[in-house]
Structure 1
Amino acid sequence: MNNNFNSYNFQTIIALNDHLKNLKKLDDIFQYLSTYISKDFGINRFQSYINDKMIYSNFKENEETLKSKQFLIKLNYNDNLEVALFYKNEYELENIANVFNILKTTFNLVSQTIYNKYLEFKIKELSLRDSLTGLYNRQYIDEYLKTILPLSSREKKKIAFLKVGIDHFKAVIDEFDYTIGDKVLKELAISLENSVRESDLVARIDSDEFLVILHNVMNEENAIMVAQKVIENFKKKKVIVNEVTNQTLMKTICTGISMFPDDAKKVEDIFRSSDIALYEARNKGRSQLFKFKKEESNIIELF
């Protein structure tokens, strides 16, 4: 394509922008754009940045792409968004130069649509995140389980749920203050994420209670091993209480374990069984775990 608007006019770009507005997800927008600029402009590798943070790439960085050179497009009408085109040789660079004005005009016109969708995504993400720890919250878990439970049932895979609670957390607030309490919660969040696989999920679902979701667990023994690891790892954590005296606080946690689909098949039953398991673990003392047992659940008194 040559660099003139007779064959590629504003109506074409406006039609593209209208189509992008109708797409629901930011990834859908970029995937469509990726196909679009490859087909219409012959450019196969690009990345997009918002406020200097990369939010999309249509290639994985490997030795070949790391050798590629970058051609950055700075947009006139949206300082938040930048587009980087990648080329390997002079032929590809010449192709970019030939279509540069049209390509820049295209991204200028669609940039607000991209940025608006990005803001929608960030707002939704913030509503599903715990503001203190950055972990997902109970609202996210409810939606997440609606998707993951049917999938695990079809694939006949087990999921372990570890309900984690801090031992005597109220005593931390009474002895110190909420600032120290927040430090303990943040340290626990970090410890939990470092104790499980990247494919697993950690969420804060109550003031001092967390939920760890372990995917594709072979049996309850595997879940118990992870629960023990989680307890032991946090036991080693030191929270600085006084920066001047370097006074530190060390806390412990208990963990209740529930298995899907063995112990519970519905979301509400998963939370109930893991609650009961955590309650029983705490009854045993500090740094304890308890595996939920259906046959005993009818005689457990929660209050």
Structure 2
Amino acid sequence: FKQTIEEDRNLNDVYERIFHMLADQFQIKRFSLYEVNHDMQSMKLIYANGLPDNESLWCNAEITEDSSACRACRTAHDINTEDEEVICTSFAGNRICNEQDLHLHHFCAPLMQGGRIGVVLQVIYADAEVEQIQKKLPYIRTYFSEASPVIESKRLTEVLHASTLKDPMTGLYNRRFLDQFKSRLIASAERSKKKIGLLMCDVDHFKDVNDSYGHKVGDTVLIATANILSKAVRLSDYVIRFGGEEFLVIITETEEEKTMEIAERMRRNLEESEFNSESTTFSKTISIGIAMFTNDSNVFDECVHLADTALYVAKDTGRNRVIRYKEGMLKEKE
């Protein structure tokens, strides 16, 4: 197994192989994998399998914002409800599956990398599966431990590579990131059967800022806009500087109503912000076009284009507004 994943192209391939190892080889129905970000003290969901519809995590969402809420991450110990029934208060499986009349157990294994927790694997199982899962766990733990140095190495390589995928001024991902990672986003959406919200955002009349106040103030506006957009989304979402004053926000595992709420919050927060240039105070607004992958198109790039079309309509109908793409807009734009 170790040699196989060493020869995988990248970290995403390794994670996919672990997914199939759990689902196909070990026949595990319910599991999660998280990456730990120690700088942000957060956890990023890589995937979660076997969840009921409209659920995205087997644990309380708090762990994605505060990694110390995860007992396995905090203690660096394996966590097993066979040792103690309510050993971790962040586990939400029994609440999630309450209507299914299931009583669930869980096993969480932290993976050490460079002296710190790098990844946490979670296996969830029902009463009827206790005996067979307990027999499988030592083998799963062995496979997982063998993967540790490979994951660490490939993760370091990706961190170094990521420096070329960031916009140096705003710290956001750039279009090169989107080109390289959209296949991973698409695969995740197909696996979870959840939608992706695409928000194409453009600062209104941005050229006037550079012309009136200078490029330094213009840069300040772009950095502030990037921060406002980033604060409005989860760690599992992506904010990309698409070019100039244009940003693409990718909302993962979402629905249309939630996506619209996030977009409106972004629009309102920028509108309420103030910027200073010497003795002058001014404000800016933003226009946002929205498309949903896969509701509007099964082709990701086409969905980005549809979000851009909706942005064009937002600009053309007065700016400072959120517009959802509707069928026929493309012809109107042309």
TM-score by length of 2: 0.55
* Structure 2: runs of 5+ lacking an equivalent: 1-5, 15-38, 42-71, 78-113, 117-151
Asked if structure 2 preserves the Cα contact closer than 8 Å seen for 1:200 and 1:215, the reply is yes
Change beyond 3 A, Cα 1:143–1:249: same
Tell me, in whole angstroms, the C-alpha distance in 1 between the residues paired with 2:40 and 2:317: 48
Write out aligned runs for 1:30-45 (5 A). none
CA separation of 1:154/1:130 partners in 2, compared to 1, >3 Å: closer, same or farther? Answer: same
Quote the Cα distance in structure 2 between the aligned partners of 1:258 and 1:287.
17
Go from structure 1 to structure 2 and tell me whether the alpha carbon gap of 1:217 and 1:26 turns closer, same or farther (over 3 Å shift): closer
Pair 1:184–1:154, CA change in 2 (3 A) = same
1:236 corresponds, among 272, 280, 283, to 272
| 1:142/1:267 contact within 8 Å kept | no
Q: Distance in 1 between matches of 2:153 and 2:76?
A: 34
Matched, 1:155 2:192: yes
Q: Of 301, 318, 326, which aligns to 1:268?
A: 301
Pick closer, same or farther for the CA change 1:146–1:174 going to 2, 3 Å. same
Aligned residues: 213
1:165 positional shift: 0.3
CA contact (8 A) 1:165 1:210 kept: yes
8 Å CA contact 1:135–1:202 kept in 2: the answer is yes
Task: Tell me the CA shift for residue 122 of structure 1.
Answer: 4.5
2:198 is equivalent to residue 198 of structure 1? no
1:84 positional shift = 5.9
Following the alignment from structure 1 to structure 2, what is the Cα–Cα distance between the partners of residues 147 and 117?
A: 16
Q: State the 1:299 CA deviation.
A: 2.6
Matched, 1:139 2:170: no
* TM-score, with length taken from structure 1: 0.60
Q: What secondary structure is seen at the aligned counterpart in 2 of 1:231?
A: helix
1:126 positional shift: 1.3
- Structure 1 counterpart of 2:295, one-letter code: D
The amino acid of 1:170's aligned partner reads: K
| Distance (Å, rounded) in 1 between the aligned partners of 2:272 and 2:283 | 7
One-letter amino acid of the counterpart of residue 274, structure 2: K
Correspondence 1:225 to 2:239: no
Specify the alignment match of 2:63 in structure 1.
Answer: none
**Aligned 8 A contact 2:166 2:174 in 1:** yes
Question: Post-superposition shift, 1:265?
Answer: 1.8
Cα distance per residue 1:267-303 (max 9 Å; x no partner): 32022111111000011213111111123322323xx
1:254 aligns with 2:287: yes
Question: Shift of the alpha carbon at 1:177?
Answer: 1.2
Q: Which residue of 1 aligns with 2:210?
A: 173
Structure-1 separation of matches of 2:206 and 2:185: 31
* Residue 53 to residue 84, structure 1, CA distance change in 2 (3 Å): farther
1:142-166 Cα distance to aligned partner (Å, 9 max, x none): 2222112133134321111010000
Spell out structure 1 runs of 4+ moving beyond 3 A: 21-28, 115-123
Which is higher, the Rg of structure 1 or of structure 2?
1
Give the superposed CA RMSD.
3.7
Mapping of residues 18-37 of structure 1, within 5 Å: none
Deviation at 1:197? 1.9
1:298 aligns with 2:331: yes
1:132/1:298 CA distance change after superposition, 3 Å: same
- Percentage of matched positions with identical amino acids: 32
- For 2:207 and 2:268, how far apart are their aligned partners in 1? 21
Q: Residue type of the partner of 2:74?
A: E
User: What amino acid is the match of 2:73?
Assistant: K
Equivalent residue, structure 2, for 1:280? 313
Deviation digits for residues 103-132 of structure 1 (CA, Å, limit 9, x no counterpart): xxxxxxxxxxxx998885444111111111
Q: Report the Cα distance in structure 2 between the residues aligned to 1:161 and 1:212, rounded to whole angstroms.
A: 6
Mind listing any 5+ residue stretches in structure 1 that lack a counterpart? 1-20, 29-51, 65-82, 86-114
The code of the aligned residue for 1:295 comes to G
